[in-house]
């Protein structure tokens, strides 16, 4: 277990230090959400309707932006080879790297979302639901991002391919995330089922994505 935490700790320290890229996703998230109302104009009703969808799409793209750096640095400096040798199973390595990516990227963005939602006139009633749905949904986003990164490890400029591979898998998270967020002001009965499906997506990714990612890395090392 201490091996698992040591990898998470190292990855988070690396994200926060120079050249780590924690600032990149955060900067992108904030920039888009600041520019959006300026571009759309001061129609408060329209902005309010737009807010949940805009926040979710921005979250998706911000997470995608940092995806190609999940495995690439370790692949380039030979660390990934040593990780493949063990003793920790490669599946757990992939899980640890996903969790570190979530803690360093997805979770901070989810926590900031209600605050930045104010710029889009997000209904105050939705602050709670959007935080909850984003914390849960961003975990699935990080796990799927890790899978994409594992498949494209070793490819130069793999970012574009990752987007093509991963965006279809992000669509359910987007649909049910927005649906859970909107439920309170729209159809309240939808909140429960949407959150349950979002949880199911996250749990399924938690189990399947690391296994698939490990298989992809093994295949690449051969």
Partner 1 sequence: MTMQLSAKNLVCRRGGRTVFSGLSFTVGQGEGLLLEGPNGTGKTSLLRILAGFGALETGSLELDGADDELTIGQRAHYLGHQNALKLALSVEENLSFWADFMGQPATANTIEERLDAFNLGHLMSYSAGLLSAGQKRRLALSRLELVSRPIWLLDEPSVGLDAASCKLLAAAMMRHMEAGGLLIASTHLDLGLTFTKKLNMGDVAERAP
Binding site residues, partner 1, CB under 8 A: 2-3, 6-7, 10, 13-14, 17-20, 73, 76-79, 81-88, 221-222
Nearer to partner 1, 19 or 168 (CB): 19
Query: Is 200 strand, coil or helix?
Result: helix
Q: How far is CA 13 from CA 74, 104, 206, in A?
A: 14, 9, 23
Smallest separation, CB 16 to partner 1 (Å):
9
In whole angstroms, the minimum distance from the beta carbon of 23 to partner 1 comes to 14
The minimum distance between CB 79 and partner 1, in angstroms, equals 4
Q: Which residue number, 15 or 67, has a Cβ lying nearer to partner 1?
A: 15
- For partner 1, give the closer residue by CB, 20 or 108: 20
Q: Measured between alpha carbons, how far is 62 from 29 in angstroms, rounded to an integer? A: 6
Give the C-alpha separation, 105 to 112, whole Å: 11
- Write down the least CB distance from residue 175 to partner 1, Å: 38
In the complex, least distance from residue 174 CB atom to partner 1, rounded to whole angstroms:
33
- Residue 75 or 176 with smaller CB distance to partner 1: 75
Asked if 191 contacts 180 with a C-beta cutoff of 8 angstroms, the reply is: yes
- We find the least distance from the C-beta atom of residue 220 to partner 1, in angstroms, to be 10
Between 96 and 178, whose beta carbon lies closer to partner 1?
96
Looking at beta carbons only, is 6 or 31 nearer to partner 1? Answer: 6
Q: State whether residue 191 is helix, strand or coil.
A: helix
CB 210 within 8 A of CB 91: yes
| CA distances for 189 relative to 27, 129, 193, angstroms | 35, 13, 8
Q: State the nearest-atom distance from the C-beta of 209 to partner 1, in Å.
A: 21
Long-range contacts of 103-106 (CB under 8 A, 24+ apart): 103/8, 103/12, 104/11, 104/12, 104/15, 104/16, 104/22, 105/15, 105/22, 105/25, 105/26, 105/62, 105/63, 105/66, 105/138, 105/142, 106/59, 106/63, 106/134, 106/138, 106/139, 106/141, 106/142
């Amino acid at each position: 277990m201490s091996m698992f935490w040591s990898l998470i700790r190292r990855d988070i320290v690396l994200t926060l230090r120079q050249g780590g890229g924690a600032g990149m996703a955060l900067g992108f998230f904030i920039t888009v959400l600041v520019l959006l109302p300026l571009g759309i104009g001061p129609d408060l009703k329209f902005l309010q309707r737009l807010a949940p969808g805009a926040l979710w799409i921005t979250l998706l793209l911000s997470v995608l932006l940092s995806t190609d750096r999940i495995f690439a640095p370790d692949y380039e400096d030979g660390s990934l080879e040593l990780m493949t040798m063990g003793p920790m199973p490669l599946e757990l390595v992939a899980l640890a790297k996903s969790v570190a990516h979530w803690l360093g990227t997805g979770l901070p963005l989810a926590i900031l979302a209600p605050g930045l939602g104010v710029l889009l006139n997000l209904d105050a009633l939705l602050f709670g639901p959007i935080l909850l749905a984003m914390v849960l949904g961003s975990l699935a986003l990080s796990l799927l991002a890790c899978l994409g990164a594992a498949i494209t490890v070793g490819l130069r400029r793999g970012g574009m391919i990752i987007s093509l591979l991963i965006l279809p898998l992000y669509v359910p998270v987007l649909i049910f995330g927005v649906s859970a967020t909107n439920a309170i002001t729209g159809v309240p009965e939808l909140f429960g089922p949407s959150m349950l499906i979002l949880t199911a997506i996250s749990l399924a990714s938690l189990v399947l994505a690391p296994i698939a990612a490990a298989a992809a890395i093994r295949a690449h090392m051969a």
